[in-house]
Amino acid sequence: MTDARKTLPLTHLSEDERMFFQSALDFAKKEIGPLVTKMDESETMDPSIIRKMHELGFMGVEVPEKFGGAGSTFFNAILIIEALAQVDPSVSVLMDVQNTLVENAFLKWGSEHLKNKYLPQLTASKVGSYCLTEPNSGSDAFALRTRAWDEGSHYRLNGKKVFITNAKEADIFIVFANLNPDAGYKGITAFVVEKGMPGFSLGKKEVKLGIRASSTCELIFEDCKVPKENILGEIGKGYKIAIETLNEGRIGIAAQMLGLAEGAYSAALNYVKQREQFGKQLIEFQGVQFQIAQMATDIEAAKLMVYNAARLKDAGMDFVREAAMAKHFASDVAEQVSSLALELFGGYGFIKEFPAEKFYRDAKIGKIYEGTSNMQLQTIAKLCLNS
């Protein structure tokens, strides 16, 4: 009898998807792995990594070929995010924001002019950023205070954004501002802002606990002039764009957390097979075996949830509840698995020479960005109660 696990080493994937995932993982181990420590300590993303991801098509997975993209699926983008996170979640989130937020917003809401202008740049060499959060509007995203005015020949933006991922590397920014505060959240509009536009500048770069190679900066708009044609979607529909893209983005963060958990688990498993105490390998102790089994079980459950949400999205079916569940659960798993992995390394887990402490630091953000865990629970509860 044939062992199914030998013929299907990743049982949730087709053969093509398995090969796609493996190629992304091979790239991550070969090209990113040697740079992880340096990038973490210097808090910078190596430009060569971004260039190579563009060359491989990782920075435009769903974008149609006519715009220079790979013309692939959302699910395949999720696989790459997962694979990269096994090696460095910082690189993973850069690619995640590019695909699940920025390019998805252009593909769904952009005019033909904006698609033709910006998608070829994003797939070829440029990085995009998604700019919603402000000092006084985090989970209450629609309390944003960045203002926009119609000046006739252009729009004028004033305000500040904070905690903006990819800000240092990005050239193209999707910025949410209120064009009509009297209309409340229905005045929020999405604008495409380019690096170098008059009145736009980067503020301070945050020093973070984890994903340190991923830039997180504030953005400052002081009478920033934005061309009239750079409205993304319709005037006053920015809130709809924000909600719908973030629903998709949460699957991406769930995939990042899944990959992180897999990376921490793999490192811990290799270590306990090599480390000896009391004349035996650590893996020979039943207590350690139980911990490894629990980690593997939690990861498998998270994988099923992440893959299911991504499959639903590609099938054009409702996936909002499943996306929230996947992000909430995968973030929990990443935190728990990385914590246990660190403990299995013992004292070595607490020092930077070994990978456990970085996975542990990187995991915490999963419960915070693109909707906190409490916000995910609120979404899940609302949809369950109304079903």
- Tokens in use for 43? 């808090």
For the chain, domains (ranges, CATH) are 8-127 (1.10.540.10), 129-237 (2.40.110.10), 240-385 (1.20.140.10)
Band of pLDDT at residue 189, cut at 50, 70 and 90: very high
The model's pLDDT over 133-176, given as tens digits with 9 standing for 90+, comes to 999 998 888 899 999 999 999 999 999 999 999 999 999 999 99
Mean pLDDT for the stretch of residues 86-97: 98
Predicted pLDDT at 19: 87
Show the CA angle centred on residue 213, arms to residues 209 and 214, nearest 5°. Answer: 90
Range from 16-25, 64-73, 214-223 carrying the lowest mean pLDDT: 16-25
Quick: pLDDT tens for 191-205.
Answer: 999 999 999 999 999
> How do residues 349-382 score in pLDDT, each as one tens digit?
999 999 999 999 999 999 999 999 999 999 999 9
CA atoms within 13 A on the CB side of 205: 11
For 125-182, the three-class secondary structure string (H helix, E strand, C coil) is CCCEEEECCECCECCCHHHCCCEEEECCCEEEEEEEEEEEECCCCCCEEEEEEECCHH
Instruction: Please give the pLDDT value at position 15.
Output: 85
Tokens of 371: 């909707």
Q: Which residues contact 273 (CB under 8 A, 6 or more apart)?
A: 281, 282, 283
From the list 214, 60, 195, 173, the residue with the least C-alpha distance to 124 is 60
pLDDT of residue 98 exceeding 50: yes
Residues 6 or more apart whose Cβ sits within 8 Å of residue 358 = 36, 40, 210, 352
What tens digit of pLDDT does each residue of 40-54 get?
999 999 999 999 999
Percent of the chain with pLDDT over 90: 93
Mean pLDDT in residue range 26-35: 98
pLDDT at 142: 85
In this prediction, residue 193 carries a pLDDT of 98
Mean pLDDT of all residues in the chain? 95
Residue 1 is predicted with a pLDDT of 36
- State which amino acid sits at residue 321: R
- Kindly give, in sequence order, each residue whose CB lies less than 8 Å from that of residue 98, ignoring residues fewer than 6 positions away: 59, 60, 122, 127, 128, 166
151 is catalytic: no
Which H or E run contains 281?
A: strand 280-281
Q: In this model, does residue 9 exceed pLDDT 70?
A: no
Q: Can you tell me the mean pLDDT for 261-287?
A: 96
112: left (phi over 0), alpha (psi -120 to 50) or beta: alpha
Phi and psi angles of residue 327, each rounded to the nearest 5 degrees, phi first? -65, -45
Does 262 or 1 have the greater pLDDT score?
262
Model confidence pLDDT, tens digit, residues 292-335: 999 999 999 999 999 999 999 999 999 999 999 999 999 999 99
Question: How many Å apart are CA 8 and CA 35, to the nearest integer?
Answer: 31
Task: Give dist(CA 35, CA 73) in Å, integer.
Answer: 29
Q: Is pLDDT above 70 for 2?
A: no
pLDDT classification of 11: cutoffs 50, 70, 90: low
Find where tokens 């770069």 sit.
205
